[in-house]
Amino acid sequence: MMILGQISYTAPDTVEEALAELAKDENSQPIAGGNGLLTLLKRGELNASHLVDIGRIAELRGVRVVADGRLRIGALTTLTDLCIEPVVRTAHMPGVLTDAVDVIGDVQCRNRATVGGTVASADPGSDLSAALLALDATVSIVGPTGRRIIAAADVFANAGTNRDELIEWVEIGPASPGSAYAKFTNRANLQALCGIAVAVTLSADNTVADVAVAITGALEVPSRLPSLERSLLGASLPAVVEVAEDLPYVASAAAGAEYRAHMATVLAQRAFDSAVQRAQNA
Partner 1 sequence: MSQSTDQSTQAEPQHVFGAGLLPREDPAFIRGEAIFTADITPKNTLHMELLRSEYGHAEIVDIDVSKAKAMPGVVAVMTGKDLAEKLLPLPCIWIPGGVESHFPPHPYGVPGAGFVLAQDRVRFIGDPVVAVVAETPYQAHDALEAVEVTYRELPAVVDPKEALKDGAPQLHEAVANNLNAYWTCGDEEATDKAIAEAEVVVELEVHNQRTINSSLEPRAAIGEYDPVKDEYILHATSQSPHNHRFLLAALVLAIPFNKLRVIAPYIGGSFGTKGYLYPDMPLVLFLAKELGKPIKWVDTRASLMRSTVQGRDHTQQATIAGTKDGKITAIKAISYANLGAYPSTIGPGVATSLMGRTISGPYAIPVGFCGVYAMFTNVVPLGAQRGSGRAEAVYMTERLVDRYAETIGMDPAEVRLRNMVEPDKFPYDNNLGWTYDSGEYARALELALKNADYYDFPARKAEAATRGKLLGIGIASYVAICGVGPSTRMSKEGMLGGTWESGNVRVHPSGEVAITIGSKSTGQSHETVFAQIAAEVLGVDMSMITVYHSDTEKAPYGQGTYGSRSYSVGGPALYMAAKQIREKMVKAAAFWFGVKESEVEYANGTFSVPGQPDKTKSWSDMAMAMWYGWNMPPNMAPALDETAFFDPADFNYPFGSHIAVVEIDKISGEVEVKRYIAVNDSGPIGNPVVVQGQVEGSILHGMGQALIEKACFDDKGQLLTNDLRTYAIPRASDSVNFEMDFTETPCPWNPLGVKGAGETATVPAAAAISNAIHNALGAINIDMPLTPEKIWQFLREGNAAK
2 binds partner 1 (CB under 8 A): yes
60 with 19: CB under 8 angstroms? no
CA distances from 23 to 6, 78, 88, 113, 188 (A): 19, 26, 35, 24, 36
How far apart CA 179 and CA 201 sit, in angstroms, is: 9
233 binds partner 1 (CB under 8 A): no
**C-beta of 2: minimal distance to partner 1 in Å?**
4
How many binding residues for partner 1 (CB under 8 A)?
Answer: 22
The SS3 assignment for 34 reads coil
4 binds partner 1 (CB under 8 A): yes
47 binds partner 1 (CB under 8 A): no
Binding mask 249-268 for partner 1 (x = CB under 8 A): ----xxxx--x--xx--x--
Backbone φ and ψ for 169, nearest 5 degrees, come out as -155, 165
How far apart CA 224 and CA 210 sit, in angstroms, is: 14
In the complex with partner 1, the residue whose CB is nearer, 93 or 266, is: 266
**C-beta of 155: minimal distance to partner 1 in Å?**
23
CB-count burial class (<10 Å; 0-12, 13-18, 19+) for 57: buried
61 binds partner 1 (CB under 8 A): no
- Minimal CA–CA distance to 116: which of 90, 99, 139? 139
**C-beta of 33: minimal distance to partner 1 in Å?**
17
In the complex with partner 1, the residue whose CB is nearer, 63 or 79, is: 79
188 binds partner 1 (CB under 8 A): yes
| Residues within the interface to partner 1 (CB under 8 A) | 1-6, 39, 43, 106, 184, 186-189, 253-256, 259, 262-263, 266
